[in-house]
Amino acid sequence: MTKRITIDPITRLEGHGKIEIFLDDAGEVENAYLQIPELRGFEKFCEGRPVEELPRITPRICGVCPGAHHMASTKALDAVYHVEPPPAAKKLRELFYCAHYVHSHIAHFYALAAPDFVLGPSSPPAERNILGVVAKVGLQIGGEVIKHRAYAQDIQNLIGGKATHPVCGLPGGMSRAISDDERKGIVEKARSCVEFANFSLKLFEDVVLKNKEYVEVIKSPAYALETNYLGMVDKDNAVNFYDGLLRAVDPRGAEIAKFPAAQYLDYIGEHVEPWTYLKFPFLKKLGWQGLSGGATSGVYRVGPLGRLNVAERMATPGAQAAYEKMFDTLGGRPCHATLAFHWARLVELLYAAERLLALASDPAVADPNVRTLPQATPDEGVGCVEAPRGTLFHHYKTDAAGMVTAVNLIVATVQNNAGMCLSVKGAAQGLIHDGKVDQGLLNMVEMAFRAYDPCFGCATHSLPGQMPLEVSIFDARGKLCQRVVRA
């Protein structure tokens, strides 16, 4: 006799998804399914488009990380046209991209993560949102959150035309350069962002790390998942969001692969299941062994914790210190505690801000030469960046006129699909016993996927209101066994 719990829709993340939890006769969780019902078909409807338009079409995959798609797409165009952008263009792209990270990581941490940590995983739902956070930490801080995400959006608006769906990327460069005055304006904002990132790490320390209960939750087996990890690193094996080689490590942190993005097909495959529209990438070396973790499974994870697990250092001093502190506290690298994604995200926020400041402080970023016009006949190319949520691949094929004939996309969050499914199942199994559920437990199950910041970072704000949730538990004959209402 199987009992069933449905959470629909899951909330405070990417739009659509639901969780189905099945209990066995003893009231223990037999299995849990995270189903994604969305599909739009970018990999098909980009065919027949002029390839130079793809950096303006593909950002519509995600309106919170459009900058990531824009950058991956632009780099793919460089490859398709075999053209090298001038140094100033690369600096300017990376400058734009660091600002993008600042926006995205602030948005996720303060709206998605902060409520569960600052107020507590099982706190009353009516308070468990950004206003509850602001009430606890103060209106002044709320203003700082808004201000710094706005700085990041302003910088992207300046360089890219629009922060949401930028337009500046071209094969071989950027559509316009910035002036030295504009550069100086960015320096000021970047400085403030570094301070704010440090503040955010301190907030995390004060509110989360100094709270023994929270630390226990972070370290608890319900949220532990051993997997392989993938991320982009520079030549010193430091995290780099914009360019570098891809490195995969196993659950013990040993390197199992290192490759340029152009060879991704030799390393990554995608598996299909009939109960979700989202595919399951896996490492080909290990093969798809089913939905399971461990060193022999092809399942791997990406994103902030993935990147920090893969990398041996951070490229900027403040972030390096934060990185060391995180792993010291959590028992070494790699760390498999899924909730540590939130901490890793703040370490990356600091890195992005420091890198933003470093790039903006270099007058060369305002050099007027930001275009190399393509000369070669276009054919095929791969563009890869680390999106805030994980590694992002854009792979394009064109005809000789530059019209798209084929597109393959491996978008960050899809690579965490298996991880999220396993985390949700693990949390459900660890928390639900004897068939008993309550609102706090259900939220704690949702926290298992929220840590990944799946596909869609949230807004700077969640807003209060009534948050009713009704959970009905039916037996196999369809008879109602239990109903829990979260008013």
| Cis? peptide before 468, omega within 30° of 0 | no
Q: Which residue intervals of 236-313 are DSSP H helices? A: 304-310
Taking the complex as a whole, how short is the minimal distance between the CB of residue 213 and other proteins, in angstroms? 22
Taking the complex as a whole, how short is the minimal distance between the CB of residue 373 and other proteins, in angstroms? 6
Q: Contact at 8 Å (CB) between 200 and 109? A: yes
Taking the complex as a whole, how short is the minimal distance between the CB of residue 25 and other proteins, in angstroms? 12
Taking the complex as a whole, how short is the minimal distance between the CB of residue 172 and other proteins, in angstroms? 8
Going by C-alpha positions, the residue among 14, 3, 105 that lies closest to residue 446 is: 14
Q: Smaller CB distance to other proteins: residue 160 or 304?
A: 160
Taking the complex as a whole, how short is the minimal distance between the CB of residue 26 and other proteins, in angstroms? 14
Q: Smaller CB distance to other proteins: residue 161 or 435?
A: 161
Q: Smaller CB distance to other proteins: residue 38 or 195?
A: 38
Q: Contact at 8 Å (CB) between 355 and 74? A: no
Q: Mapping DSSP to helix (H, G, I), strand (E, B) and coil, where does residue 394 land?
A: strand
Q: Smaller CB distance to other proteins: residue 273 or 324?
A: 273
Taking the complex as a whole, how short is the minimal distance between the CB of residue 464 and other proteins, in angstroms? 7
Q: Which amino acid is at 105?
A: H
Taking the complex as a whole, how short is the minimal distance between the CB of residue 18 and other proteins, in angstroms? 9
Q: Smaller CB distance to other proteins: residue 331 or 368?
A: 368
Counting every residue written for the chain, the total comes to: 487
Give the dihedral of Cα atoms 99, 104, 107, 109; nearest 10 deg: -110
| Cis? peptide before 334, omega within 30° of 0 | yes
Tokens 């097909």 — which residue?
Answer: 265
Taking the complex as a whole, how short is the minimal distance between the CB of residue 264 and other proteins, in angstroms? 7
Q: Contact at 8 Å (CB) between 224 and 206? A: no
Q: Smaller CB distance to other proteins: residue 216 or 476?
A: 476
Q: Smaller CB distance to other proteins: residue 312 or 380?
A: 380
Taking the complex as a whole, how short is the minimal distance between the CB of residue 239 and other proteins, in angstroms? 24
Taking the complex as a whole, how short is the minimal distance between the CB of residue 225 and other proteins, in angstroms? 21
Q: Smaller CB distance to other proteins: residue 100 or 345?
A: 100
Q: Mapping DSSP to helix (H, G, I), strand (E, B) and coil, where does residue 201 land?
A: helix
Per the DSSP assignment, residues forming a β-bridge with 257 are 248
Per the DSSP assignment, residues forming a β-bridge with 313 are 238
Task: Compute CA distances 205 → 81, 111, 338, 343, whole Å.
Answer: 47, 17, 17, 9
Measured distance CA(478)–CA(94) in Å, rounded: 56
Q: Smaller CB distance to other proteins: residue 26 or 332?
A: 26
Would you say the C-alpha torsion 167, 169, 171, 176 has a positive or negative sign?
A: positive
Q: Which amino acid is at 477?
A: R
Q: Contact at 8 Å (CB) between 327 and 320? A: no
Contacts of 112 (CB under 8 A, 6+ apart): 12, 13, 450, 453, 457, 458
Q: Maximum Cα–Cα distance for the chain, whole Å?
A: 71
Q: Contact at 8 Å (CB) between 365 and 167? A: no
Q: Smaller CB distance to other proteins: residue 6 or 210?
A: 6
